[in-house]
Structure 1
Amino acid sequence: MIDSLTNERSSEVEREFEVLITLMADMIMGHAEANQHVHPPKWALDLHVLSMKLFKHLCSIRTLLKPCGLETGTLPRFGYIDHSSVSALTRTAVENYLVMYWLYSNGDESLREFRHTVWKYCGWKKRSKLVPTIEEAKISHQEAVDTAAELMARIEASPYFKDYSVADKKSLRKGNWSAGSNWNDLAEKAGLHRIYFTSIYPYLSGYTHSDFISCLQIGQAQTLNVQYSLGVASLQISLLMIGHFSHFYAELFPTAKEILEHSGEAFELATKWHIKTDDMAFLYDRVGVDETSPAQEGHTPGSAPPPPPANR
């Protein structure tokens, strides 16, 4: 039973989020408006869509931190905060950013084109596995089959594909774009400390896959204050994602870079939350854990994801 319909808010975290989400919108739309009369490469168009997708995820995370306005016979209006959905959506946002960084390929244009082709192939390949039940769906299914076959031929002709192991080639052909890597590897290459990531990702995944510990936490979090405290930890992860995104996007697009560098306080906050591996080393490098094993989604999460060490 909810014993309180009021809760304490982390006003500074929320304020910083408002500043940074506005910066993110300005950077995305500023770049789009400055390039509306040019014909960018297809990877750049898809990166824009992924940027908007990430932006919307982050906005929804912030919205879910407010008490739910739905009233039922057993729950009063504004009677709970859905922190479990906040955690599940935060995981989606993190993955979204890691896909973007993987596609970027550290500025290597030929590798970027190859990875974009791989990413598209895997999307079409997965669609081709869906079972069509109506005529319109059968047409779409055949399009997916044909497009996947065309893209796979381009992939197999690439010298990058020849570097894949036999097992990874098989995995890619099945529709796994990250063949040869796991989320830990992608996060580390994107500049996140491996131990930090292997702490937060299994925790967030626990909510996505309804692990026992996530169920236990939901049952124990009976007050708005507790529900909010669990949710706001994920909002701090969102701030970390915006910090990384803003510098990543600025490196890609000159207009976005100009907006970032002239954004005043927003630039300072984006730099504060652009927390990289070296910034976390003082906290995690002394932790005696196995960093080499991939984060499995079945790992038992802790009580809450550790907040990033933002005060540097």
Structure 2
Amino acid sequence: MTTIETNRPGTPEELKTESGVLRYYERGDGPPLLLLHGSGPGVTGWRNFSGNFDVFAARHRTFILEFPGFGISDDFGGHPMMTAQQAVIEFLDGMDLESVAVVGNSMGGIVGAALAINQPQRVSKLVTIGGIGANLYSPGPGEGIKLLMEFTDNPSREKLTQWLHSMVYDPAMVTEQLIEDRWTQAIEPATLASARRMYSSAAFGQMAKAAAASTEPPLWTKLNQIKAPVLVTWGRDDRVSPLDMSIVPMRMLPRGELHVFPNCGHWVMIEQKAAFESAVLAFLGRED
């Protein structure tokens, strides 16, 4: 059975930017690779990618970036999705990285896709893990997002545990240590306030109204603008971003390909660790 978060973090490095301090981890040499984490209670970049860090660092100069508003980097204020996009650009500029390969989990994949659309010269290749696309057959938001909203509105350990179970295929992965680590981070006041700007039922309602009134098309309609090669990865049993969401990026990405992992929920990089790493490294190492 795959385990989660057994590798405890050291002290992250710091990058001072105009918006605040960004914290990150760096290992390895070679072509630069940036790992972008997802959202949700108690999430960090380290918790998403620590198990993959050394494997990727054996071939790449690998960075795990901690997004603002999740309790590790400074909170830039504003909507976490928007500040995450801002943070990536400030991080690349501050580290003098002209172009990187990006691996993004869920929200991190959306941030990576937005970067590839808006600043295509910065993204050499992109790997996404769930998240991008649009619900075609399944209702939206998905089960995991609804449980996330319930937790954010009124946090409890029981609701956190229910949400964690929606993230994985194998329920044995939701250990007491995982619950405790996530709970401690999730209820930290500033982190919870940031989460409520994104995932409270009130915030979701405001976003829905803003989307209906906006003339700006949603991100998925712009996927055909991404010129870089893209590997879209998905867990077949994802209850946060159901598999039918992958049809849109599979069809629209000019240089996209889709890899679906069986017996796997939303955390592909954890539940199908070895298979995911093998597919990603092959993709990153391939001449296109």
TM score, norm. by length of structure 1: 0.24
Q: Which has the larger radius of gyration?
A: 1
Larger RCO, structures 1/2 (Cα 8 Å, 6+ apart): 1
Q: Which structure shows the bigger proportion of residues in strand conformation?
A: 2
- Return the structure number with greater helix share: 1
Q: TM-score, normalised by structure 2?
A: 0.26
